[in-house]
Chains A and B, each alone.
Chain A
Amino acid sequence: MFSVHPHRSGGLSALGISKIFRESKIHIASTQLINTIMSSKLISPALRAALNLHSSKLPAATSQLASAHLSSAPSGGKHELPGLKYDYGALEPVISAETMTIHHTKHHQTYVTNLNATLEKLDAATSTADASSIIALSNALKFNGGGHINHTLFWENLCSKDESAYSEGGELSKAIDSSFGGLENMKKELSAKSIGVMGSGWGWLGYNVGTGRIETATCPNQDPLQATTGLVPLLGIDVWEHAYYVDYRNVRPNYVNAIWDVIDWKVVEARLVKAKSG
């Protein structure tokens, strides 16, 4: 139907395809054609930006379909609440089953649900290339996307008291000794920072790609560590009140001091090894 000239790199050139849409007097009414093009491996990320579907005068239904194919969410378009690798009661007495249940099935689930909703809106805004609408979604994206990222990391770096084991001599202990002078020093520093967060936020141990050292940091609300600071997250401590209020009421220090008993150091070390290997 159209002669399409493959770009040197192997995909359809961005300019090529939007030129076709713009110059064609035949409106592409066939959803089958759109399906074929959009699901093909010829579509590169660069093509997304170039495909200004709104201005191509495609029928609304067709451009919506194309939009869906360009969705920024994975596997069919939806993020999902990850399962926990332990029972809700596994972290007791440090964190109760009640807290874990509400925290996972309500708070984290809400972030996932709202992230998916925000991504749908983002796709719609992106397909029209309306900068203002795209930017207007940035707070919701940071809040819900950050919430999903942070909590996923959090569940993974926790384990039952029995399974929590810090080993000397490995990559992690070497890094902690080098950057902090020992585990107790690191715990003291991260505890103090986490306890001192004003309002809602997180305490983090992170890997600094630039210096090769590990450091402590805090982020407000659900701001994700890596996207905000560049540090690669190794260990997160949720200090939003919902993380500890049922079990510790207002006494955040008791929660933070207790959580060290249920840290999955194997996961923290694996993250460091991965971060160092680039």
Chain B
Amino acid sequence: MMLLRLILTALSLGALPATVAIDLPDLPYSYDALAPAISEQTLRTHHLKHHAKYVNTANELLKSEPSYANLSPEKIIKDRKLRMKNLSLFNNVAQAINHAFYWKSLSPNGGGQPSGQLMDLIQRDFGSFEELKNKMESEALTCFGSGWAWLGYDASKGHEKLVVMKTTGAENPMALGITPLLTIDVWEHAYYLDFQERRGEYVKAYFDRLVNWSFAEENLKLLGLVIAKDEL
């Protein structure tokens, strides 16, 4: 009984380690690894200032939202009530996730085309890789204001297919039940130091030199899809 009281007191005083906080992952490569497409200066500012701020703000806000403190970041942003209750918490957690996903969507040896099941699906759902690329570029360029462009997979019954879409602000396709495979950040801070207003050049550099198709293939594998040969 005494022990229980002790534990409960400790808990209420916050003396025990906090439950899952949002973390700031390291970049999968060095800060100069993506130059000249994305400069070291951009990566440092983007990761250590923008991404870090979302993480810190999210963790600060979680302190006053104990019901969310135990959940994974993905579970937090999928909660429909959260946006209405605490939009700021949603935005910061979502941006933390989006940026972590973005770093992995880039690679110093990026570009080229995917292979395997992902390529099969691209051909099934878009006709060709060129079509897919054009659609994704178009979404990235027609995202007015701040946002993201995505390649994702809709695994919902009857709708199974690859999707290319854009989201505004902090929005993530997971909230729509779509599994992200790849993303490109088109908030101005992602490209302004290197390309200024020329978002088109940044998007081109992404597809030519940065896009990490292996990451997209891994994400697809996680879905464990079984595609019948006659569907392709």
Within B141-172, the residues touching A (CB, 8 Å) are 144-147, 168-170
Instruction: Report the bound CA distance from A72 to B176 in whole Å.
Output: 39
Instruction: Report the bound CA distance from A199 to B146 in whole Å.
Output: 5
Q: By the criterion CB–CB under 8 Å, are A245 and B193 in contact?
A: yes
Q: By the criterion CB–CB under 8 Å, are A241 and B197 in contact?
A: no
Kindly state the interface size class of chain B when it binds its partner: 10 to 19
Instruction: Report the bound CA distance from A106 to B197 in whole Å.
Output: 7
| Interface residue count on the A side (C-beta < 8 Å) | 20
B102 CB within 8 Å of chain A: no
B188 CB within 8 Å of chain A: yes
Pick out which of these stretches binds chain A: B30-38, B45-53, B128-136, B211-219: B45-53
Query: Known contacts A106-B196, A199-B169: does B144 contact A245 (CB below 8 Å)?
Result: no
Task: Give A200's nearest chain B residue, CB to CB.
Answer: B145
A102 CB within 8 Å of chain B: yes
A121 CB within 8 Å of chain B: no
Query: Known contacts A198-B169, A249-B45, A250-B45: does B193 contact A107 (CB below 8 Å)?
Result: no
Instruction: Report the bound CA distance from A181 to B16 in whole Å.
Output: 47
Residues of B within 8 A of A220 (CB): 145
B75 CB within 8 Å of chain A: no
Most chain B beta carbons < 10 A, residue from A102, A246, A249: A249
B179 CB within 8 Å of chain A: no
Query: Known contacts A143-B144, A250-B45, A250-B49: does B187 contact A110 (CB below 8 Å)?
Result: no
20 more contacts with CB within 8 A, not counting A245-B189, A245-B193, are A102-B196, A107-B197, A110-B197, A143-B144, A198-B91, A198-B169, A199-B145, A199-B168, A199-B170, A200-B146, A200-B188, A222-B145, A241-B146, A242-B196, A242-B197, A246-B192, A246-B196, A249-B45, A249-B49, A250-B49
* Residues of chain A at the chain B interface (Cβ within 8 Å): 102, 106-107, 110, 139, 143, 198-201, 220-222, 240-242, 245-246, 249-250
